[in-house]
Structure 1
Amino acid sequence: MIELDGSQGEGGGQILRTALALSVVTGQPMGIDRIRAKRPKPGLMRQHLACVQAAQAISGAQVTGAELGSQQLRFAPGPVRAGDYTFSIASAGSAMLVLQTVLPPLLLADAPSDITLTGGTHNPMAPCFHFLRDAYAPLLARLAAGQPAPLALTLKRHGFYPAGGGQVQVHITPPAQPLQAFDLMARGAPRSAHAEALSPGLPRTVATRELQALAQAMGWAPEQQRYGSARQDEGPGNALIATLAHEHVTEVFTEYGARGVSAEEVAARLTTQLRDYQRSVGDDGGGAALGPHLADQWALLLALAVWQRGGQARFTCSEVTEHLRTNTEVIARFLPLAWSIAQGGAVAEVLVRRRV
């Protein structure tokens, strides 16, 4: 059994999700102690428990410790099973994080899977639906190397904190051939940029002020400002989303409104994210391919590809977060891979290779 310390590195839920995914992928039992030890409320919250239950459902795992607040878990999976699944979080917990737990093993299953997810679709501290659809899924499609796109996402209903209630339909098509790793060293030439404001259940002026403030800061034209399609009955909620499409990668950045935070402050925070990414240019003049959050999420997908075919692959990112470092450490516990991270000015290079 692989034993993990949930207090290592970033000390949050990422350790749990990656460990669950790779336990099912490899068939190796695992145990975690001190789950989410560095969070204000340690242990399994509803969204983390939903991840455990989803991983159990697709593998028939034997599990102990799967209770709210538990800081210890033992998980012994069976073979991964493709199928039709519904995973629900009875709160605004992130349904997108549940998807990222079950996606790696279902990518390697022997048949397609359809998943209905309910819960939060746009949550602080978690990737939102737009990020998965527009940034994450296209990179995964490139790993399939000309085969049908492995991941298709359809948003049926937005889900914001605290009500939740969002719904996403997911179709996963396992590639017939192993994933093909590739180097992602630069973002390439810019192609387009736009902002989208979601503000269901709130006055339209909130979205207008956010879009205008962001456009003024970034020098964007009116046609780059969009009002999202969220219905009024899907709120109250507020998210300001910016999409930067480049030749080799599309990045998505999000900031959320909250009580007592002005629309202009939401726009200012998102502007900071965008400028940090745009300023991440290396000595060769090329911009880092991935922002900090996409780099963290990309590490596991790239690791699966290198594990399947061998060799090595690299990518650059604008920031090496503690989440990224922790994720690579957990991955290396399950897969015969070695990681190296080199920081060169404003751009970091991450290398993963299969150990001989």
Structure 2
Amino acid sequence: MLKFRGSQQFRQRIVYSTISGKPIRIDEIREESENPGLQEHEAGFLRLVEKISNGCKIEINDTGTTMRYRPGLITGGRAIVHDCGTARAIGYYIEPLICLSLFGKKPLSITLKGITNDSLDPCVDTLRTVTLPLLKHFGVEEGLDLRITKRGAPPLGGGEVHLSCPVARKLSAVSWVDGGLVKRIRGVAYSTRVSPQNANRMVDAARGVLNDLLPDVYIFTDHASGKQAAASP
């Protein structure tokens, strides 16, 4: 059993343990903090891992400062739903989820509910437009999709996204040695439960800066209202 201390790289430890099949133990999780032990979002991530795997075993002591994790088989599955809560955004969960699902027994189809965009975690737009296209360079081409069905801003969240991830037979090696030049810029300006003109103003302000650097700039607007805008503006 591999042993670690502290709460750093919590998700990475669980991901590597699950993929390698090696059990781990983590001690002194925020032991000296005013709020010791595992936090709400970390416990939520463990529940998510349980949903996409079979046979994993999690033991946590009374104070939450020590946990043991014995990984199971990554099964994937369809029609899975997970509530991410409001402590962290959906991006906090999608990052490790993609890494795990690529090595699953079956493709993954899951709906995640919570905050879609905040200032702490990668927003779902970044994951959709940057992370997923990057995975195609590793040979993951078909069946990879991330759809935003409902925007959810903090503090109340209420957003909803659907992630589809295939099983990777193998991952291709990638070698990037030439950084190249930026030829074009694409972006998204979103707004929820406010006037659509706010998103247009954001686009104008961004283009006012970016167009001085290069001409090929296009920023999409995504305005959500009603049921598609969840609870917070």
Q: TM-score range by the shorter chain?
A: 0.7 to 0.9
Code of the residue aligned with 2:210 in structure 1: it is: M
**Structure 1 residues 258-292: Cα deviation after superposition (integer angstroms, max 9, x where no partner):** xxxxxxxxxxxxxxxxxxxxxxxxxxxxxxxxxxx
Residue 15 of structure 2 corresponds to residue 3 of structure 1: no
Distance 1:109 1:66, change over 3 A: farther
Aligned to 1:218: 210
1:278-293 superposed matches below 5 A: none
SS at match of 1:116: strand
Question: How far, CA to CA, are the matches of 1:73 and 1:89 in structure 2?
Answer: 21
What is the CA-CA distance between 1:225 and the residue it aligns to?
Answer: 4.0
In structure 1, the gaps of 5 or more residues are: 238-356
Question: How far, CA to CA, are the matches of 1:115 and 1:124 in structure 2?
Answer: 24
In structure 2, the gaps of 5 or more residues are: none
Q: Does structure 1 retain, via aligned residues, the 8 Å contact 2:193–2:224?
A: no
What is the CA-CA distance between 1:157 and the residue it aligns to?
Answer: 0.7
1:48-87 superposed matches below 5 A: 48-59=42-53, 60-65=55-60, 70-84=64-78, 85-87=80-82
Residue 123 of structure 2 corresponds to residue 128 of structure 1: yes
Q: Does structure 2 retain, via aligned residues, the 8 Å contact 1:47–1:94?
A: no
What is the CA-CA distance between 1:217 and the residue it aligns to?
Answer: 2.3
Q: What is the identity percentage for the equivalent residue pairs of Structure 1 and Structure 2? A: 23
Distance 1:152 1:215, change over 3 A: same
Paired residue for 1:19, among 13, 22, 25? 13
Aligned to 2:154: 161
Question: How far, CA to CA, are the matches of 1:126 and 1:39 in structure 2?
Answer: 22
Paired residue for 1:141, among 132, 136, 142? 136
Question: How far, CA to CA, are the matches of 2:224 and 2:38 in structure 1?
Answer: 30
Question: How far, CA to CA, are the matches of 2:32 and 2:125 in structure 1?
Answer: 28
**Structure 1 residues 297-343: Cα deviation after superposition (integer angstroms, max 9, x where no partner):** xxxxxxxxxxxxxxxxxxxxxxxxxxxxxxxxxxxxxxxxxxxxxxx
Distance 1:173 1:195, change over 3 A: closer
Question: How far, CA to CA, are the matches of 1:168 and 1:38 in structure 2?
Answer: 36
Q: Does structure 2 retain, via aligned residues, the 8 Å contact 1:107–1:150?
A: no
Question: How far, CA to CA, are the matches of 2:114 and 2:129 in structure 1?
Answer: 20
1:1-356 superposed matches below 5 A: 1-6=1-6, 11=8, 15-35=9-29, 43-59=37-53, 60-65=55-60, 70-84=64-78, 85-91=80-86, 93-144=88-139, 148-149=141-142, 151-176=144-169, 178-219=170-211, 224-231=218-225, 233=227, 234=229, 236-237=232-233
Question: How far, CA to CA, are the matches of 2:172 and 2:107 in structure 1?
Answer: 19
TM score, norm. by length of structure 2: 0.83
Question: How far, CA to CA, are the matches of 2:61 and 2:148 in structure 1?
Answer: 29
Distance 1:121 1:182, change over 3 A: same
What is the CA-CA distance between 1:40 and the residue it aligns to?
Answer: 8.2
What is the CA-CA distance between 1:175 and the residue it aligns to?
Answer: 2.2
Code of the residue aligned with 1:213 in structure 2: it is: A
Code of the residue aligned with 1:183 in structure 2: it is: S
Question: If each structure's helix is expressed as a fraction of its own residues, which one has the higher value?
Answer: 1
Question: How far, CA to CA, are the matches of 2:16 and 2:118 in structure 1?
Answer: 24
TM score, norm. by length of structure 1: 0.57
